[in-house]
Amino acid sequence: MELFLGATGALLAALFLTSFIKILTALNIMRYGLGLTDAVFGLIIIGVSVGLTTFVMSPQIESAGGVDALLRSGSVGIERTYRPFLEAHTDKKILDRLISLRAQQSARAGAGQAAAPLQGATTASEVVAASDGATTAKSGVGMPAAPTSGAVPFAVLASAFMLSELSAAFAIGVLLLVPFVVIDLAVANLLMALGASQISQQVISLPLKILLFVVVDGWGMVSGKLLNSYL
């Protein structure tokens, strides 16, 4: 059972704590821009994303002793393996925002715990003692220091990393969509000018978009852009 949970955690880490999110999202945006919306091509995109993710994450996997060792390491091993990668590729603005939200959440929780003794106080002396304790807690005396940038909670770091990857993937996706949108608009205007609106726009635009993608070595450009973002 423990081995199964460790394997499940490693699988989830492979999906959400690696380059898989950005690569899959960017390639899916490109796929819809090309007009290849069939489920079969979606499976191909997933396969390509897994391959590129394996290439990017191979140093981390090798440092953990291989896939089998990573599966057996559990959550502690996963955090030790992936934390340097997450810290290196997380947007600092997003991380700072989440750390601020986490601090506000902790402050509210601390205020609630400090106010709890007042609710159970029945005598004046108990109220005074509880008030003193609440003041101490509110002032921060005896409270643990806020974590530094090197000790960010792993849950906060993972959340910031995933948001950073999605933001980067959408930025890359917009650049990939622009030439395809131009072709779609040009074909639509051409069909309207010729009075051939009954012809499906996809029949004309799809070959043109694929031809453009092949001529400019689209796969090489896209994969190079994605891989270089982790170097």
27 and 139 belong to one structural domain: no
60 and 108 belong to one structural domain: no
Torsion of CA 150, 153, 154, 158, to 10 degrees: -90
Any alpha helices (H) in the chain, and if so which ranges? 2-16, 20-34, 39-63, 67-88, 92-120, 124-139, 154-194, 201-215, 218-228
184 and 96 belong to one structural domain: no
- Could you give phi then psi for residue 90, rounded to 5 degrees? -105, 135
Are the C-beta atoms of residues 158 and 219 closer than 8 Å to each other? no
The pLDDT tens digits of the residues spanning 197-229 come to 778 888 889 999 999 999 999 999 999 999 999
3 state DSSP class of 196: coil
The pLDDT tens digits of the residues spanning 52-110 come to 999 998 888 888 777 777 767 777 778 888 889 999 999 999 999 999 998 898 888 87
80 and 159 belong to one structural domain: yes
pLDDT(32) > 70 = yes
Predicted TM-score (pTM) of this structure: 0.77
Number of domains comprising the chain: 2
pLDDT(124) > 60 = no
CA-wise closest residue to 218 among 180, 184, 187, 191? 180
At 14 the pLDDT is 65
Alpha carbons 158 and 44: distance in angstroms, whole number = 27
106 and 188 belong to one structural domain: no
Boundary residue ending a domain (101, 121, 152): 152
Alpha carbons 107 and 8: distance in angstroms, whole number = 33
CA atoms within 13 A on the CB side of 4: 1
The pLDDT tens digits of the residues spanning 149-178 come to 457 888 899 999 999 999 999 999 999 999
Check residues 65 and 21 and name the one with the higher pLDDT.
Answer: 21
Domain span at 64 = 2-89+153-228
73 and 163 belong to one structural domain: yes
pLDDT(50) > 60 = yes
Boundary residue ending a domain (135, 152, 169): 152
The structure tokens listed for 208 are 């043109």
pLDDT(15) > 60 = yes
104 and 69 belong to one structural domain: no
50 and 77 belong to one structural domain: yes
At 21 the pLDDT is 93
Rg over alpha carbons for the chain, rounded to the nearest Å, is: 26
**Average pLDDT rounded to a whole number, residues 136-152:** 47
Region for residue 103 given its phi and psi (left: phi exceeds 0; alpha: psi -120 to 50; beta: otherwise): alpha
82 and 174 belong to one structural domain: yes
The pLDDT tens digits of the residues spanning 182-201 come to 999 999 899 888 887 778 88
7 and 80 belong to one structural domain: yes
The structure tokens listed for 215 are 């001529």
pLDDT(2) > 70 = no
At 85 the pLDDT is 92
Boundary residue ending a domain (152, 174, 194): 152
